[in-house]
Chain A
Amino acid sequence: DAGVIQSPRHEVTEMGQEVTLRCKPISGHDYLFWYRQTMMRGLELLIYFNNNVPIDDSGMPEDRFSAKMPNASFSTLKIQPSEPRDSAVYFCASSSKQGALVAFFGQGTRLTVV
């Protein structure tokens, strides 16, 4: 398996624009997580899904953030409108019950909002 695939790897956008980050989890994994990493706040869990259903979105910072998982092989994290303070590295990770809680991470999307 190619691992968790995120796109794009880098995104630079202007304040106020909509940004969509994409993730393809490892095939067969039934949990998907979105994390945000910043110098100030470290790694924060934004939301996670089980079998495509959002289980806990308490980490989503504001209504400007939304996440979807239309099927088992694809998820998006959308920010609309984006703000400079959203600049961070966003990671997607997936895991499975058979995998004993181990989360496999993608390489991340570095988002810069100017």
Chain B
Amino acid sequence: AQSVTQLDSQVPVFEEAPVELRCNYSSSVSVYLFWYVQYPNQGLQLLLKYLSGSTLVKGINGFEAEFNKSQTSFHLRKPSVHISDTAEYFCAVSVDSSYKLIFGSGTRLLVRP
């Protein structure tokens, strides 16, 4: 069965520093990968997605992620974070063009001044 592992439950970082949020998935078939962000008391919104093509995917708010098939990873990065990036970030996988998303446990990004 497919699964998603987010290795860090919380990542504290200072404002303007770079950040990487890690995501690994397990699946033996083709996958589609997503990162969603959840601000307090709100629903999830899409940051970026990988369906096919270039393995480096750019999303909103300056975030990007790289699909690495050999390492089954899809880590999220931003070169310089802002206070407003403080939120919970979820990695998700959809298998074989299914519309069913499996989410990781989430990583709380805490940006400090």
Residues of A within 8 A of B (CB): 4, 31, 33, 35, 42-43, 45, 48, 50, 56, 91, 93, 95, 100-108
- In whole angstroms, how far apart are the Cα atoms of A106 and B49 in the complex? 19
B58-72 to A contact mask, C-beta < 8 Å, 1/0:
000000000000000
Contact-size category for B: 20 to 34
Q: Does B28 interact with chain A (Cβ within 8 Å)?
A: no
Q: Does B101 interact with chain A (Cβ within 8 Å)?
A: yes
CB–CB A48/B99 < 8 A? yes
Q: Does B54 interact with chain A (Cβ within 8 Å)?
A: no
- In whole angstroms, how far apart are the Cα atoms of A42 and B103 in the complex? 8
CB–CB B51/A100 < 8 A? yes
Residues of B within 8 A of A (CB): 32, 34, 36, 41-46, 49, 51, 90, 94, 97, 99-106
Given A4-B43, A101-B49, A105-B44, A95–B99 Cβ distance below 8 Å? yes
- In whole angstroms, how far apart are the Cα atoms of A35 and B34 in the complex? 16
Task: Tell me the smallest distance from the CB of B86 to a CB of chain A, in Å.
Answer: 18
Chain B residues within 8 Å of A31, by CB: 99
Given contacts A56-B100, A100-B51, 14 further A-B contacts (CB under 8 A): A4-B43, A31-B99, A42-B106, A43-B90, A43-B106, A45-B101, A101-B49, A102-B34, A102-B49, A103-B44, A105-B36, A105-B44, A108-B42, A108-B43
Residue of B with least CB distance to A4: B43
Contact of B43 among A48, A95, A102, A107 (CB under 8 A): A107
